[in-house]
Amino acid sequence: MAFISSGYNPEKPMENRITDIGPRKYDEFYPPFIAKNKGKWLYHEILEPGVLVHVAESGDKVYTVRCGAARLMSVTHIREICDIADKYCQGHLRFTTRNNIEFMTDNLDTVKALKADLAQRKFAGGSRKFPIGGTGAGISNIVHTQGWVHCHTPATDASGPVKAVMDEVFADFQNHRMPAPVRISLACCINMCGAVHCSDIGLVGIHRKPPMVDHEWADQLCEIPLAVASCPTAAVRPSKVDYKGEKVNSIAIKNERCMYCGNCYTMCPALPISDGDGDGVAIMVGGKVSNRISMPKFSKVVVAYIPNETPRWPTLTATVKHIVEVYAANAKKYERLGEWAERIGWERFFSLTGLEFTHHLIDDFREPAYYTWRQSTQFKF
């Protein structure tokens, strides 16, 4: 490999340096019919799962074909997306917040050709490259985090369980039979760099063992006071310990206070927390971000722990599928999962789903916990 210079001169880093220019302006990339009708849209309709039409005051119609995608994407795949956009959409496309790809055109014949083309494109392993769907009262793509692919704190993988869950609920990516949209998201630890805490179904990687202390390295790798300060439950304290016959500055963990958040590990690499047997996934349900009908809601933990059953997480996927089916069978039209659970009561949610209610599911973290207990004689047997 010969080093190829971009023109950057490391001797003179400020020479010709361009900084703080920000992203490209959004409207440079608008398709012409979007630029023309911006702010003048009358209404939209989902013609079939994954295909939308937006109608403008001008009478213009824009058709959108939405496809699922793995957010981990190679340049080879992106180039294929570009080839499709060049062929059918004059070189324009967009991505959605939920990692879907949208191809837009103002021509209904192009929609037909595009759909047929997308349907036949498959990866060598057999999976579809561009499944059409993700609209309306169905299950759209999963928003997720990095997992074992690229993160140092995960308690589970992200891309793996997402693939397994989407395979399981795939029919509902391409259908509108749900009472309302079902938004699934996955965060590989409780940092939750995705918005898992307000999803219809949130899958969250959790640790279950307190961190170990690497006494040999604690004082060298870490600012011990920062590690101490990082603990939300005061389980981390400074400590002098005997290590190989020497007194060293290190850290002690009060195990019974630890809630396994991993924040100390983020501050101090000498406190490794992940553990193959300890780590796994919790399931949270009933959250939403939309203000429609009821106010936005947090998701609630309904399954405290499912082990990381690689490579396809069968217990996790079966549990998600089961919750979806019980919801679909029982909720009223327009009712989000959380609205349904609140209408019937959470005790009924557990009896209908058959999920076991255990002590893990009673909140005991900080003052808001009290407001989740039942201050009433109104409950269901």
Partner 1 sequence: MAKHATPKLDQLESGPWPSFVSDIKQEAANRAANPKKIDYQVPADCPDDLLGVLELSFTDGESHWKHGGIVGVFGYGGGVIGRYCDQPTRFAGVAHFHTVRVNQPAAKYYKTDFLRQLCDLWELRGSGLTNMHGSTGDIVLLGTQTPQLEELFFELTHKMNTDLGGSGSNLRSPEACLGLSRCEYACYDSQDVCYQLTRDYQDELHRPAFPYKFKFKFDACPNGCVASIARSDFSLIGTWKDDIKIDQSAVKAYVGGEFVPNAGAHSGRDWGKFDVQAEVVDLCPTKCMKWDGAKISINNKECTRCMHCINTMPRALRIGDERGASILVGAKAPILDGAQMGSLLVPFVEVTPPYDEIKEIIEKIWDWWMEDGKNRERLGETIRRLSFQRLLEVTGIKAQAAHVKEPRHNPYIFFKEEEVLGGWDRDLAAYRSRHQR
Query: Of the two residues 2 and 116, which places its CB atom closer to partner 1 in the complex?
Result: 2
Q: How far apart are CA 218 and CA 18, in angstroms?
A: 40
- Assess 130 for contact with partner 1 (CB under 8 A): yes
Subset of residues 1 to 20 that bind partner 1, contact rule: CB under 8 A: 1-8, 10, 13-14, 16-20
User: Which residue's structure tokens are 């009908």?
Assistant: 293
DSSP structural state of residue 194: S
Subset of residues 76 to 95 that bind partner 1, contact rule: CB under 8 A: 76-79, 81-82, 85-86, 91-95
- Assess 291 for contact with partner 1 (CB under 8 A): yes
What track of x and - describes contact with partner 1 for positions 357 through 376 (by CB under 8 A)?
A: --------xx-x--------
- CB-based contacts of 193, cutoff 8 Å, min separation 6: 145, 146, 187
- Assess 107 for contact with partner 1 (CB under 8 A): no
CA-nearest of 70, 103, 98, 67 to 84 is 103
Query: Of the two residues 78 and 113, which places its CB atom closer to partner 1 in the complex?
Result: 78
CA distances from 12 to 7, 9, 21 (A): 11, 5, 20
Find the binder of partner 1 among 63, 105, 118, 138 (CB under 8 A): 138
Query: Of the two residues 198 and 201, which places its CB atom closer to partner 1 in the complex?
Result: 198
Subset of residues 154 to 173 that bind partner 1, contact rule: CB under 8 A: 154, 157, 159-160, 163-164, 166-167, 170, 173
Subset of residues 30 to 49 that bind partner 1, contact rule: CB under 8 A: 30-31, 34, 38-39, 41-49
- Assess 380 for contact with partner 1 (CB under 8 A): no
- Assess 25 for contact with partner 1 (CB under 8 A): yes
Query: Of the two residues 160 and 355, which places its CB atom closer to partner 1 in the complex?
Result: 160
Terminal-to-terminal C-alpha distance of the chain = 71
CA-nearest of 304, 76, 319, 60 to 206 is 304
CA-nearest of 265, 147, 151 to 211 is 265
Contact 115, 66 (CB under 8 A): no
Q: How far apart are CA 378 and CA 356, in angstroms?
A: 21
- Assess 75 for contact with partner 1 (CB under 8 A): yes
User: Which residue's structure tokens are 């947090």?
Assistant: 298
Collapse the DSSP code of 84 into the 3-class scheme (helix H, G, I; strand E, B; otherwise coil) and give the result: helix
Q: How far is the CB of 353 from partner 1 (least distance, A)?
A: 20
Query: Of the two residues 96 and 249, which places its CB atom closer to partner 1 in the complex?
Result: 96
Q: How far apart are CA 319 and CA 182, in angstroms?
A: 15
- Assess 73 for contact with partner 1 (CB under 8 A): yes
Query: Of the two residues 359 and 366, which places its CB atom closer to partner 1 in the complex?
Result: 366
Query: Of the two residues 36 and 351, which places its CB atom closer to partner 1 in the complex?
Result: 36
Q: How far apart are CA 212 and CA 251, in angstroms?
A: 10
- Assess 330 for contact with partner 1 (CB under 8 A): no
Half-sphere exposure of 254 (CA within 13 A, CB side): 11
Query: Of the two residues 334 and 357, which places its CB atom closer to partner 1 in the complex?
Result: 334
- Assess 28 for contact with partner 1 (CB under 8 A): yes
Find the binder of partner 1 among 59, 245, 276, 354 (CB under 8 A): 276
Q: How far apart are CA 144 and CA 72, in angstroms?
A: 10
Find the binder of partner 1 among 65, 182, 184, 187 (CB under 8 A): 187
